[in-house]
Amino acid sequence: MQGAVLDLRALARRSQPARGRPPLEFALRYGAIPPILAGRAKELAILRSTVNGIQSHKGDQCLLGLHGIRGQGKTALIKILADMARQVGIHVITLGASRSSDEFAQAIMGAESLVATGSDSTAQEGGFSVNAVLKAEARTTRTRQASETRTARMSIDAALERRLAQGDKILLVLDEAHTLRKEAAQALFNAYQACGISGAALGFAFAGTPDLADHLSEMGVTFTERPGRHGQTPLGPISDANAIMAVLTPFAERGALPEGMAPNSPGGVVEGVANACCGYPYYTQLLGDALHQAWASDRRPNAISQEHLKQAMDIFAAARLRHYQTRFLELEKIGAVECARNVAAALDQRGFITRKELKQCVSQGLRERRSLEQSGEAIRENEWLDGLWSAKGGMAPALLHLGFLWSPEGGAGNRFQAGIPSLASYMLETAPPR
């Protein structure tokens, strides 16, 4: 934290005092790229390596998979990667996770021309007809009596091979990968495995929730974990120092520093910022915007006071409460509230829970939920598979999927932490339905 204090002081010394309260920009929407991307230096280096690998025809090393809870910056990083690629002439093809494998193939073969014509019936690129190639390949695969998955995979293979043969450098981008259907996922990942070889100018970046690793494994996609690829890159919390820099750098750039900040002491304002953010990147944006609202209404442009922070915390707390309530409703819809409360109690004791303890808490929560349902005190909106605990079934994947839990090691980890900071505390404060 002391390093962040020194950096802020140095930045403020080089800056001009604010005049007329210029607007400060903070990203308040999920997926938006924030002005200060805090704590992601390692990931940015991986993005640059991926782009360089595509340019150097190292397709076998250009697989990047990000997984983490919502608000950790997955979508923002994917967008930054796409911008990096476009700047050096790489064709970026964005794929929708809800699409079929045939639609993936069509997007790959004619993405740019389809946008230009507004129709897929006459799309032309590089002197070939998208539909003509698709129909010709369909006839070929039918004569081979291939399976549905094989037919779909060949379509995507042909699309990628055609684009690469034309000399195109390609980056495939896929967000929300945890919602992929099995047939489409197998077709897409197998196509990358077939075409993303050494000598190919092809990259593939995808992102999803913490259960993404288990989801892919369940669908038979296992090569993403091989050495030399970044197919499983977890995004965890950022440090307090990085959270402080994300919130306060825009102010320091205008000559405004927190009151009470000394060379060897961060002061109450800085510590308050760190405690509020809890290592959660999305909260740095919410708090930064709230702090700006309080600061902009005062007459002292060169300092951020405790009073400013107090006013900001009221705004921030209301936004954070809405965020918690949204997650709570999601847990309620799948009947996971009781399970989440038991897990939260274990997390509250020491900050993490093992896989064995998680199994016990989930089992207890299921029993408590059934008791409430039988008495008519609780009604589930949506059913959820309540099978025996396993790495790929039961209630625990629901807690991972919703971001309630997070594992630094990914799906194979034995230690889980509270995913969305302070949500565990919110669950403990929320009285059981009676």
Average pLDDT, the chain: 80
Of 148 and 75, more confident: 75
Judged against a pLDDT cut of 50, whether residue 112 lies above it is answered with no
pTM of the model: 0.79
Q: What pLDDT is stored for residue 79 in this prediction?
A: 94
pLDDT tens digits, one per residue of 300-336: 667 888 999 999 999 999 988 888 888 888 888 878 8
DSSP 8-state code for residue 411: G
Instruction: At 256, list the tokens.
Output: 């405004």
Q: What is the CATH number of domain 41-234?
A: 3.40.50
pLDDT tens digits, one per residue of 165-175: 999 999 999 99
Residue 140: helix, strand or coil by DSSP?
helix
Instruction: At 271, list the tokens.
Output: 């510590």
Q: Which of the given ranges, 102-106, 333-337, 383-387, has the highest pLDDT on average?
A: 102-106
- Mean pLDDT calculated for residue range 387-391: 45
* Structural domain boundaries in the chain: 2-32+238-329, 41-234, 334-429
Consecutive H or E run containing 92: strand 91-95
Are 183 and 152 in contact by the 8 Å Cβ rule? The answer is: yes
Q: What pLDDT is stored for residue 153 in this prediction?
A: 44
Q: Which of 347, 345, 365 is nearest to 415 (CA)?
A: 347
Rounded-to-integer distance, Cα 74 and Cα 208, Å? 8
Rounded-to-integer distance, Cα 113 and Cα 343, Å? 51
